[in-house]
């Protein structure tokens, strides 16, 4: 085997797990929301966030939003079964999201792409803010007083200071991104080509050495966290340039969150999604919630 052929094989072997994770991720496309009589529960998770108003974990899924309190069972929030693809907590009881409407809303005339939507009552109701019918953000982050988003329909990486006027910084394919809590122009992105780094707010990107990550989260004072398609969890401290393998999730990752010294993750195992928590920097993970199979 020639050197060039070997290189192609190695690149394909390295890329396949991440591509399988992205293309085969449950609920990656719109449609198919069930009725209340067939509620699928906490399945096909797209995003996690902690509501600072009460400390509860919120889970954005293919069929609506759920609240997982500090104690007790998961509960559906509001009446919408919308496919909330992008999701981030912007403040107490204030959420931002994107994705696709549920069947009832679609039949009522709502466009298939939600653009940027906002909830000010902890997910009970949502209103359109901007880009309705134009964008489907599969990744969102609210930090430094601005919202960052990646539109899956066009590949645009976009930033807005007021939630309505958007600056398209670049176009690329990615799985996830995270913004440096200490620097608004420092963004990292997990892409099919590997980890990318931007120091100009997403206008230009440079490849950096890292594991093959597909989900990211950057928590204040916690450093940058990432997970591979097989569930292997890695950490890069605030001042470090290299990644450290710290543990593993018991399944295929769907979302990750680093917040206030705690790690949360959603992982698919044996066809069922579980919500996990780690209080020891990713070394061990405790099951917080899982629907009955």
pLDDT, tens only, 202-243: 999 999 999 999 999 999 889 999 999 999 999 997 666 789
Q: How far is CA 285 from CA 63, 176, 177, 199, 248, in A?
A: 25, 22, 23, 33, 8
Q: In angstroms, how far is the first alpha carbon of the chain from the final one?
A: 47
For residues 205, 188, 226, 151, the Cα torsion angle rounded to the nearest 10 degrees is -90
pLDDT of residue 241: 76
pLDDT of residue 291: 80
| Residue 42, φ and ψ in degrees, nearest 5 | -80, 85
What residues of the chain score a pLDDT lower than 70? 1-40, 71-72, 238-240, 293
pLDDT of residue 39: 67
pLDDT of residue 28: 42
- Give per-residue pLDDT as tens, 241-268: 789 999 999 999 999 999 999 999 999 9
pLDDT of residue 41: 80
Q: Pick left, alpha or beta for residue 27 (phi over 0 → left; psi -120 to 50 → alpha; otherwise beta).
A: left
User: How far apart (Å, rounded) are the C-alpha atoms in residues 47 and 78?
Assistant: 17
The rounded mean pLDDT for the chain is 87
Question: Residue 8 belongs to what H/E stretch?
Answer: helix 3-23
pLDDT of residue 293: 64
- Percent of the chain past pLDDT 70, that is, above it, reads 84
pLDDT of residue 17: 43
Q: How many structural domains compose the chain?
A: 1
Residues in the chain: 293
CB 272 within 8 A of CB 286: no
Show the domain range for 194: 3-290
pLDDT of residue 38: 56
Q: Supply 135's token pair.
A: 């964008």
Q: Read off the CATH number of the domain in which 154 is found.
A: 2.120.10.30
pTM for this model (two decimals): 0.86
pLDDT of residue 221: 86
């Amino acid at each position: 085997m020639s050197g060039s052929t070997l290189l192609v094989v190695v690149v394909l072997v390295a890329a396949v797990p991440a591509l399988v994770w992205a293309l085969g991720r449950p609920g990656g496309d719109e449609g198919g929301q069930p009725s209340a009589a067939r509620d699928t529960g906490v399945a096909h998770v797209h995003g996690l966030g902690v509501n600072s108003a009460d400390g509860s974990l919120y889970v954005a899924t293919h069929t609506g939003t759920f609240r997982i309190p500090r104690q007790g069972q998961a509960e559906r929030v509001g009446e919408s079964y919308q496919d909330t693809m992008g999701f981030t907590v912007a403040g107490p009881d204030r959420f931002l999201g994107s994705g696709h409407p549920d069947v009832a809303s679609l039949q009522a005339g709502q466009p298939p792409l939600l653009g940027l939507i906002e909830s000010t009552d902890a997910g009970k109701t949502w209103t359109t803010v901007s880009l309705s019918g134009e964008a489907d953000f599969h990744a969102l982050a609210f930090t430094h007083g601005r919202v960052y988003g990646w539109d899956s329909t066009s590949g645009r990486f976009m930033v807005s200071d007021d939630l309505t006027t958007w600056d398209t910084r670049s176009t690329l394919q990615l799985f996830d991104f995270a913004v440096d809590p200490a620097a608004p122009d420092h963004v990292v992105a997990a892409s099919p080509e590997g980890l990318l780094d931007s120091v100009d707010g997403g206008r230009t990107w440079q490849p950096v050495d890292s594991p093959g990550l597909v989900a990211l989260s950057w928590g204040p004072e916690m450093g940058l966290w990432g997970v591979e398609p097989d569930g292997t969890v890695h950490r890069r401290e605030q001042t470090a340039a290299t990644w450290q393998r710290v543990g593993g999730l018991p399944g295929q990752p769907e979302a990750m969150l680093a917040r206030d010294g705690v790690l949360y993750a959603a992982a698919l195992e044996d066809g069922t999604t579980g919500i996990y928590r780690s209080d020891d920097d990713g070394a061990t993970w405790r099951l917080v919630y899982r629907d009955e199979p």
